[in-house]
Amino acid sequence: MTLILASASPRRRELLAGLGVSFEVVTADVVEHEDPTTDPREMVARNAALKADWVAARHPDAWVLGADTTVFIDGHALNKPTDGTEARAMLRRLSGRTHTVFTGLALRNAAAGVAVDTGEATEVTFKLLDEAAIEAYLARVHTLDKAGGYAIQEAGELIIEGYRGSLSNVIGLPVDTLKQLLTDHGLMG
C-alpha cells in the first residue's frame, strides 16, 4: 500500500520516517486558510483535509496523510511569520506565557472511501525573554517557516521552559496519534 505525505515540511518527513513506514511526498497545490481569528482546531483540521483531499484526488488508490500545525494564544493563531519583525513580535507575545500548539491530521484513501480527521493539542510554556534572548534565538534558528516563529527542536533550551503533551506535535506531527491512526488502517503493524 502506498502512503503519501501531502506536506513539504522537512520536519514532518523526518517524524514520519522515524516510524519506519515507507512513504512518498506529494506537496498539495492549495491555498491554506490562515485567518488568525479562526478557531485553531478548525483551521488546522480544514488545512490538513484540504492538502489530503487535493493529493487523494490525484492518487485515488493511495493512502494520503495531510497535516497542519499552528500556535494559539490570546484567541489568535500565530502562523508562520512573514519576516523578522513579525517573528520578533511573536516571540515577545509568547514570552513568559503558556500557549497551545494544535495539529490537524487527515488520512484519506479515495478508492476505499476513507476520510478520517483527528488532531492533537500540546501546551508549551516559554521562558521570560528579553530582547537579547530573542535576538540570540533568531540568530541561531530560521523561523520564517515555523508556526509561532519558533522551533522547539532547534535551540529550544534558549526559549522553552516546558511543555505538557506531545513533543512531536509541537514539531509538526503528533507521532503517537499518527501511529494509532496508521495501525487502525493497516498501514503499520
pLDDT at 8: 87
Strands 76-78 vs 98-109: parallel, antiparallel or unpaired? unpaired
CA 122, 137, 81, 77: dihedral to nearest 10 degrees?
20
Cell 517573528, residue located: 87
pLDDT at 66: 98
* Element spanning 61, H or E: none
* DSSP codes of every residue in 60-93: TTSEEEEEEEEEEETTEEE---SSHHHHHHHHHH
pLDDT tens sequence across 130-168? 999 999 999 999 999 999 999 999 999 999 999 999 999
What domains appear along the chain, each with residue ranges and CATH number? 3-184 (3.90.950.10)
Determine the Cα–Cα distance for residues 111 and 40; give it in Å rounded to an integer: 30
| The one catalytic residue among 35, 39, 53, 68 | 68
Residue 68 appears among annotated catalytic residues: yes
pLDDT at 37: 82
Looking at this protein, which amino acid is placed at residue 49?
Answer: A
How many whole angstroms from its chain centre is CA 169? Answer: 7
Determine the Cα–Cα distance for residues 31 and 102; give it in Å rounded to an integer: 19
pLDDT at 48: 97
Determine the Cα–Cα distance for residues 69 and 122; give it in Å rounded to an integer: 11
All residue ranges of the chain with pLDDT < 70 are: none
